[in-house]
Amino acid sequence: MINGLFFILFLAGTGLNFVFKQVLEFIDFKFRQKHGTEIPAELQSYLEKENLEKTVKYENENYFAWIPFSICSTSLSVFLVVSGYFPAVFEFSKSLTDNAYLGVLIFSVLTSIPSALLSIPFNLWDEFKIEKKYGFSNMTLKMFIVDGLKNVLLNLVLSLPLLLIFTFILIHASQWWWILVSLVTIVFSLLVSYIYPVLLAPIFNKFTPLENEELKVKLEKLLEKCGFKASGIFQMDASKRSNHSNAYFTGFGKNKRIVLFDTLLKQLDDDEIEAVLGHELGHYKKHHIIKRMAVSLPLLFIAMFLISLLIKLPSLYTDFGFSADILKSSDKGAVAFLQLAIIPLATSAFEGFNWIVKFISNHFSRKDEFEADRFSAELCGSGKPLSSALIKLNKENLSEVQVPEIYSMFCYSHPPLMERINAVK
């Protein structure tokens, strides 16, 4: 029988999270209906009402598509727990093999299938109904399927070996496993970041050196001015799939590179692209990534330590329908398998309260964005190129110009457009 404190925490957190998100999205929807087509005085010469009307329709369609997905995904999450799906899959996996490593792999794959299947129809609707309707998607059904298969294979290649390592650690370092797992997670993340630009990203997109020589020289001077060494400035064939635009830094060490979407190169002029790069350099010069790591790494160790305490509690297993008798077994492999099976459920019991963490992280993320904007304006000698770039990107991507403050606080890691424009001024 599934019940108990952890089960109640899971239900309460899931329910609270669901209601909270629905309320926030509804507040944004009502605000959009009332103010979505209003053009702020500062943007009178940049925006047309027709564009804002299109933005409102686009955002509304995304909102109306999100509602059933939110209901279905939350219902599925609750159903899988209440129905005893996870302990049933655990017993099934255990019946197939006595090998803990193989059992963990089977369990992990089978428990990930329901949510993956649920997302397919919603992703299809989003890609081929909404994104195509508003001129963003260039995706074909064949490309959609191939990308999906690539993602599945890539996730298997990356995650399954990691699970095997975690299993080995739990079997052979039962007392201090949380320290080793944290260290392995950090090393793995750094390794993926290192190989991503040269091995992983090219699986989906083509990266070529920036063709615009004049712009290339301009950007290289900017990099030199900031003391930023990159392996190159590349343009990505993003338009093959979507007309949305972006630019980013990726990798580190010798594999550190700058990537500009080909759509971005078409939408912005050279000065605006320089300002966008200046913003990204602001994150580098202000050590934002290092500061975030200084916070996130200790939190990782703390979280793993707390999980190490939780998985010793028999009530955690019985609350979710598992038998806790295996914990008394002398078979370390069986114990490790059970512990790895319960960890996702242990974390899910508290995930419903992540909105508190989201609120805090968004606050500091927006603070970093303002600081990077300021750096770009100072670096380029003016904030005008950055402001015009932000306005164009906002317009081209049909993003909302203004949102309710409470919505921004909980849902935006970047400040809304008008806040950024006013701050840059």
pLDDT tens figures, 365-392:
999 999 999 999 999 988 899 999 999 9
The pLDDT of residue 45: 85
Residues 9, 114, 204, 158, Cα dihedral to 10°: 70
Instruction: Give me the count of residues in the chain.
Output: 425
Q: Which two tokens stand for residue 42?
A: 């500062």
The residues annotated as belonging to the active site are 280, 373
The pLDDT of residue 2: 63
Q: Which two tokens stand for residue 406?
A: 């409470």
Is the pTM higher than 0.85? The answer reads yes
| Alpha-carbon distances of 194 from 4, 155, 182, 189, rounded to whole Å | 44, 17, 18, 9
Q: What are phi and psi of 235, to 5 degrees?
A: -110, 140
**What is the rounded distance in angstroms from the CA atom of residue 321 to the CA atom of residue 86?**
8
Could you tell me which of 314, 407, 409 has the C-alpha nearest to residue 359? 409
The pLDDT of residue 230: 82
Q: What is the pLDDT of residues 142-161, one digit of tens each?
A: 999 999 999 999 999 999 99
State which residues of the chain have pLDDT below 50: none
**What is the rounded distance in angstroms from the CA atom of residue 418 to the CA atom of residue 400?**
10
Q: How many other CB atoms are found less than 10 A from the CB of residue 204? A: 16
DSSP code at position 98: S
**What is the rounded distance in angstroms from the CA atom of residue 301 to the CA atom of residue 304?**
5
